[in-house]
Every structure is written in structure tokens, then in C-alpha cells.
Structure 1
Amino acid sequence: MTSSITCDLAAIACSVAIALWASEAHAQEPAARDPVAAEALFKAGRTLVKQGDYAAGCPKFEASLALNPSASTMINIALCHEHEGKIASAWEDYHRAIVLNRETAGEQRKRDLEDIAKKGIAALEPRVPKLVVTVEPAPEGLEVRRDGKPLPKAALGEALPADPGPHEVRASAPGHEAETQTVTLEEGKTATVKLTLRAGSKVEPDAKTGGGVPTWAWISGAVGIGLTGAAVGFLVDDLSAISALRENCREVRQGTYCNPGYDYAADNARKNRDFGLFVGLGSAGVIAIGAAIVGIATAGSAKEPARTAIALPWVAPDSAGATLVGSF
């Protein structure tokens, strides 16, 4: 920030308030630099916290940092987290302030800010809780999440800083039952969460659907595809019969004349039969596929009663179809 900002620890401590440095903000695309707006936001934050409006004041520091990253703003955010009790977040913020301080103009100012950040780190070091996560066994495809955020496999077994309070750890892997544990961390203490993945076929219901696709939906879909394929086969044979009739027969004044030796009755019967089967089986296939789509789309609703249905095909000499049976 500008030279008008005092840098002693007491002055900065008076200018901060409670705020949350959301880690997902680091993944967002950085805003374009605007030092003038950043300075205005910083001063607005100082004014608000002096008035006791911490909730409105501290986000001003975060907005200022997004527009113009600086060590002094980062230190204020660290103190915000420290005041809120998120000492691991504050500890991380002080470290980031030291990195940002490389860009600070003026050697004396740079030394002052570095001294503040190092004192903050030293004061928090013995208070920061740590969490150790272990998973046994660690199968292929293992995924571990701490508070919903991925935890790298290399981090397993390491004591990692975390804020005091409750934390949820979840481990999952293909072909294994997922396990979730919750632990509450205390200042200055190290806690260990040991997760055990057991091999099994248990599949956890999806939070949005409440379950998986019912078996009848897959069966109905398979039947529908089979019926549709058969219908297409009869359509091809029907077109073949029509083609043969056109090649060997023609309309004359006395009626229909066919080439000698050509079996008109057989192809004509085949044409009529194939067309009926095409319409019947095709309609049945559409019904069965439609039922499968409905079953898949509505699968897993925990509040709905179980539904079962299946398409049963039938074939007559000159037609075919399907009957949809089940409970809805």
C-alpha cells in the first residue's frame, strides 16, 4: 500500500476484523490489477472496523488484495483469521505475506512488514492444530477429501496444519466401501484419523437421487432395443417383397399381370405380414424404450415408492406388439 499506512503491529491490529480467506478463491481467475481501487477499499475497510463493523470491513481487505496483492493487506487478512480463531489460516496468510513482501517498495518498509509477519508466524506456530490422515489399505483409484477438498495421496501420514474445530475426512476407491469420519481439532494438538477401506460392492446412494437405476429399467430398455431391431429387419424384408412385386408384376387393363412362373401370392403375403410385424414390433420397441427412459430419469427418489415395470412382447401371424406390466 502507500507510505501513509503505519506498519507497527499495534496499529495494524487495530485495523482488522473477522473475515474468511476462502481457499477456493485462489482457484478463480485473478482480477485485473487496480491499485487505486485497492487503496480505496483498504481505507474503507480500516474505517469500518474502527467503527466496529467487522463483518463489512474485513471483506474490503480481501477485495483490495484481489485488485492489488500486497504484504500489508495480506497481514491484515491474517490478523482477521487470527481474531476469528482460524489460526492455521492465519499462519498460512503470514507466510503468503512474506512472499508478497518481495514486491514491497522501500527497504525499511519491507523490513517492517517482514518483521510483523515473522512475529505472527512465531506466535501462532505452537498453537496451530495438526491433522494426520491415514488410509489402510490404499487401493488403486483412492480419493481422500478433507472438508470436501481433495487431499493428495502424498499428504497421507503427514501432520498438516488445520483450523481448530470440526473437520470431515472421507476416503473412497472403486470396489470399496467409502468411509467418513469427523474429528474436532484443538489448539496446539495433533489428531489422527485412521480410515479403513473394506472391499465390497456396496454403492452409496447419490445425494440427489437417493439410489441407483432399477433393474427393470435396464431390462425394458434391452427388450425395446431388441424389438426395434426386429422391426427394422421385417421392414427390410417388406421392402424386398415390394421390390420383387414391382419387378415381376404390372397393372394392365384386365387387372394385374405377373411374369410366368413368378409366385405373386407368396410375396404379397410376405409384404402384408412383414408390414404388420414392423408396425407392431416397432411400436412395442418404442413403448419399452420409453418405459426404460422414464425408469432411468426417475430412478433413486428416496421419497417415491419402488416401481417395477417390463415390456412383454407378443407376436401374431400378421402383427406384433408388447404389453407393459408392473407397478407404478
Structure 2
Amino acid sequence: MLLALTFTPAALAQVSDADRATARSLAVEGQEALERKDFAAALDRFSRADAIIHAPTLLLGVARAQVGVGQWIAAQESYSRILREGVPEKAPEQFFEAIAAAQRELDALAPRIPQVLISVSGPDTAAVTIDDAPVPRAALGVRRPVDPGDHVVRASAAGFAPIEVKVTLAEGASETVALQLKPVAPPPAVKPRPPAAPLPDQGAPAPGSGASSRTVLAIAALGLGGAGLAAGAVGGVLALGKHGDLSERCPGGRCDPSLKGEIDSYHAMGTLSTIGFAIGAAGVGAGAFLLLTAPRSPQRAGISITPVIGLGSAGAKGSF
């Protein structure tokens, strides 16, 4: 049986009793899995056993399990390894039988293995893969053995649109997959935009903006000042007239109580005049200061201000 002469005396000398027992148990489980066609379990057990003690009988079990799970290329290599390695002349008879079985099964498997020929049209730098495994450039354009089933062949290159083809290979089939790489269309040309005008210095106002705003404020202040001076002058004139009238009607500074309303009116006119002159003086002074200290600009080149004070009126006269 396969299990009776699994190990050679030379191989056994290199392992412990525990390892021998483990390998033997794995081989038994692998053979049982093969017989019930549980090829995945058989592959696992025989692979483990062969890793502990390498022998052609165990590797033969690995190859048979690989055929069962559809890994025909790997099985082909396992069979070939058994034939390459051979066995010593004094090896157990079962080892020679394993070699003979490997040769028969390899001869039967080879014509069943599908093949694919991959051709690529495009740059010489194209990268080609089959099921994400790289395909050497030397293998392009020639028959390449592959496992039966579904496969994805893909090609890509810089500056070209990648392309992939799905192919299903049956037992013994031979297919050709032609991939044509096409250049990626360049993006539409974008018309260059003219350079943007440099931004003005953030620390300084734009030319003319400071002068213009100060001029507007100055004119407003002068207008307010002129109105204040005018109100003060009018109030003063009316207060003077009321004072003269009351002086005549109040000899010695003594006024009849009936004149209280006119006395209050006189005081109100005096207060109005004082406030008006105060506002006028402040407005004219502020306006003049703003104009005199504003940056020069073409708009201010012809501006002049002249204070004007006359009978019953006061203010400022400007030319713009």
C-alpha cells in the first residue's frame, strides 16, 4: 500500500519519532480524503506530510489532489519533480511504483491541459497579467498552459487605456486572446487665462480711494459746520434784538412778571446761538483738517476753502 512504505530509512534518520507519527497520520488522512474525492482536504494533508518527510509516495498524493482541485499546472510540476528526483537503487519497491505512476499520470494529464495564446498590440512597455499573475514578455505570442476554468487577461501601459478580456478554457482547449491598447485621448486644451492684475498693497488704500473718502467727509463736516455757524449767527442776532427790547421795558434791570415769557425766549435764543457757534466751529475745523491732510489726487487738485463770516451768517466757501 501507499502508506506501508512511505518513508526511507535515510529520511527517517533525520526526523523524530513524533514527526514520523505525525507524517504517517497525515498521509492516512490524505489517502482517505482522496478516496472520498475530498481533494482540498487531501491536498492539505499530503502537503503537510511531504513537508515533514519528503518522499515520492507523498508527493504523488499531492499531485493527484492537485488534479482533483483543478490545479493542473501545479500537478504537472509535482509529477515532473517526482521524475526528476528519482530514487536510490536500494529504495523500497513502492517508491519505484510511485515514479512509474507519476509518469503514466503525467502523460495522461498533459494533453488535457488547456492553452492560451496572448497577443498584445501597442507599446513594448505593456504589462500583461493573467488572473493578476504577471506574464513575461517572452511568453507573449506563444501557447501558455493554464488551468481549466475562467480566467481574466489584462494589459496596461502608461498613456493607454487598460483592457481586459475574460476567457473560459475547457479541458484540452486552445484559445487566442488578442489585446489592443489604445492611447488615452488627451484632455481638451485649456486656453490660458491672462495674468491677473496685481492686487494693491493691503497696507495702503487704493490710489485715490483714501483721498476721495476723506474729501466726502470733509465736505459733510464743512456743511454741518456752516449750518451750525448760520444757526448761531441767527440766534445771536435775535437774542441781541430781544435784549435791546427788554432793556427798554425793564428799567434798572427790573422786569414786570408779565414779561417772563419774553425773558425765557431771550435766554433760549442765547443758548441756541452758543450751541450753533460751537457746532459750526467744530464742523468747519474738522472739515478743514480733513481736506488739508487728505492725500493729493487729481480730484482734489482744484479744491480750495475760504471761511466766510458776515452779518447774520457764517460758514465756509469752497471751490471744487
Instruction: State TM-score, norm by structure 2.
Output: 0.49
TM-score of the pair, normalised by structure 1 = 0.48
Compare CA radii of gyration and give the structure with the larger one.
Answer: 2
